[in-house]
Amino acid sequence: MTFLIYVLKFSILIHISASSYTYGIIHNASIKIPFDIPDNLGHELQVQRCDQCLCDAFSNPKVVLLTCTENGSMNFTCQFYYFMPKRDEIQYPRNDTKIYLIQNITFEEKDDCCNTTYLIEKINAALNFKKAVFNRPLRFLVRGDNNMIVSTSKDKLIKFDRSKLEVVNEPSIPESTTVGYYDKYYYLGKDNTIRVYNEALISKITEFPVRNDLTAIRFLNDKEMLVGTALLGGFICEKQQEIFNSCINTPVVPATGQLHAFGIVDENTFYAGWYANNRNLGLYTKDQNNSWKESTSGTITQNEATSDIVIDDCKRIWAVIPEENKIFIYDQNKTHPHKITFDSKIFNLFILDNYTFVTSHETKPGLNLIQPSLNCRKPR
């Protein structure tokens, strides 16, 4: 009897050893999951050796893979997964952890959202299910305090929670046509004056003039703010102490119409767009002498008026074309834009995770939510 028990134990160990290597072990790696795994998707076990977890795994047909993490001498934690994580969720290096592949299933791939044709297909499918989330007219959309989305509606600053796009707060402000936020301060623009408030928007900290009626406020880096005007082009306002209130009189973008759009590529590069027909999107770069120059090689030929420009993670240029109810998306080659058509006039655009995005409108509904079915991998 003792001999039979020994043979049985020996057979199980051979099975475990062979099976554990059948589909492979990934050494020095773990699975990066951004949430606690619920009971219906996995379970956890504390053991003295990793091979003890294999018995549990092979006896449970739901287990797809497991990770075994060393916590100390004779102290290991096994996390069992009933689903196959994405390949992008493999975390390297983790010298204390191994991944055991229990079933002959490959890691799922995330979506290649830098494939513009694929992205457009997903967006067009999602347009049929777009959702109105705010019913008052809105114009500019910017990132506000606590990572919220912010806009203005007459004499209100509207703060939206990013995750649910619900209105969090509507503090009263002086009537403003444009808004910006950077590092604890709100910049509210009306006519040729920018008023600066703290996050609480209770009292005005300061105000300063610009040379013409304001059309746009965008932040280029931690030292420079871009200001667009109706007639005199675009200006740089430099930071003095904590506030961007030292505006240079010489425009960095020429006066050729209402300058409504800035698309920030990086701290030394931006695109500019005009609310005027037959005006190209211009690319502006800072040279070695800290002077701003237009880069003609980066010009995007476009005949339509533009109200907003956004640069996405794949370095594509999204241009909002309000008079045609369209968004043009230019690939890196900057020719032959992909076009997304809406059923109402758009003014601004704000892109969230996985290319979920919101559009603002000067007529009802003021804010639309579009949610493509995407799970994007990080751009390579």
Q: Which amino acid is at 199?
A: E
The separation between CA 286 and the C-alpha centre of its own chain, rounded to angstroms, equals 25
For residue 224, what pLDDT is reported? 95
E strands present in 183-266: 185-190, 193-198, 204-209, 214-219, 224-229, 234-240, 243-247, 259-266
- The reply to whether CATH 3.40.190.10 applies to domain 2-101 is no
Of 11-20, 152-161, 209-218, 326-335, minimum mean pLDDT range:
11-20
Residue 85's CB is within 10 A of a number of other CB atoms, namely 17
Q: According to the model, what pLDDT value does residue 182 have?
A: 95
Asked whether the predicted pLDDT for residue 332 surpasses 50, the reply is: yes
Grade residue 4 by pLDDT with cuts at 50, 70 and 90. Answer: very low
14 vs 50, higher pLDDT: 50
24: left (phi over 0), alpha (psi -120 to 50) or beta: left
- Predicted TM-score (pTM) of the model is 0.77
CB contact at 8 A, 208 and 192: no
Q: Is the pLDDT of residue 195 over 80?
A: yes
Residue 11: C-alpha distances to residues 3, 4, 240 (Å)? 12, 10, 76
Q: Mind listing the pLDDT tens digit for each residue in 94-136?
A: 889 999 999 988 887 788 899 998 999 999 999 999 999 998 9
Name the pLDDT band for 35 (thresholds 50, 70, 90): low
Task: Among 17-31, 140-154, 290-304, name the one with the lowest average pLDDT.
Answer: 17-31
**In the chain, where the domains are located:** 2-101, 116-370
Q: Provide the pLDDT for residue 29.
A: 86
What integer best gives the mean pLDDT of the chain? 88
Contact 255, 233 (CB under 8 A): yes
Phi and psi torsions of 119, nearest 5°: -60, -45
Between CA 118 and CA 102 the distance in angstroms is 33
Which pLDDT score is estimated for 24? 82
The pLDDT of residue 360 is above 80: yes
pLDDT at 179: 95
pLDDT at 104: 87
Pairing mode, strands 357-360 and 348-351: antiparallel
Residue 236 pLDDT greater than 70, yes or no: yes
Residue whose C-alpha is closest to residue 324's, from 312, 336, 307: 307
pLDDT score of 329 more than 50 = yes
Residue 7 pLDDT: 33
- 122 membership: H or E segment, kind and range: helix 116-127
Pick the residue with more confidence: 35 or 43? 43
Whether the predicted pLDDT of 6 surpasses 80: no
Mean pLDDT of all residues in 160-168: 90
Closest CA to 70 of 28, 34, 19: 28
Q: What is the pLDDT of residue 13?
A: 38
What is residue 327's predicted lDDT score, i.e. its pLDDT?
A: 96
Task: Give the pLDDT band of residue 34 (cuts 50, 70, 90).
Answer: low
In the numeric block, which tokens belong to residue 259?
């300058």
Q: Is the pLDDT score of 345 beyond 80?
A: yes
Angle subtended at Cα 379 by Cα 310 and Cα 107, rounded to the nearest 5 degrees: 140
Tokens 């939510």 belong to 369
Distance CA 240, CA 186 (A): 15
Instruction: Check pLDDT > 80 for residue 36.
Output: no
Which structure tokens are listed for 223? 């030292």
DSSP 3-state of 17 = helix
At 364 the pLDDT is: 82
Asked whether the predicted pLDDT for residue 88 surpasses 90, the reply is: no
- Prior bond of 174 cis (ω within 30°): no
- Using alpha carbons, select from 354, 269, 249 the residue that is nearest to residue 309: 269
**pLDDT at residue 22 is higher than 60:** no
Asked whether the predicted pLDDT for residue 322 surpasses 60, the reply is yes
Specify the CATH number of the domain 116-370. 2.130.10.10
Contacts of 53 (CB under 8 A, 6+ apart): 45, 47, 66, 68, 76, 78, 80, 100
DSSP readout, 183-201?
TTEEEEEETTEEEEEETT-
CA proximity to 27, closest of 101, 94, 102: 94
> How far apart (Å, rounded) are the C-alpha atoms in residues 248 and 360?
30
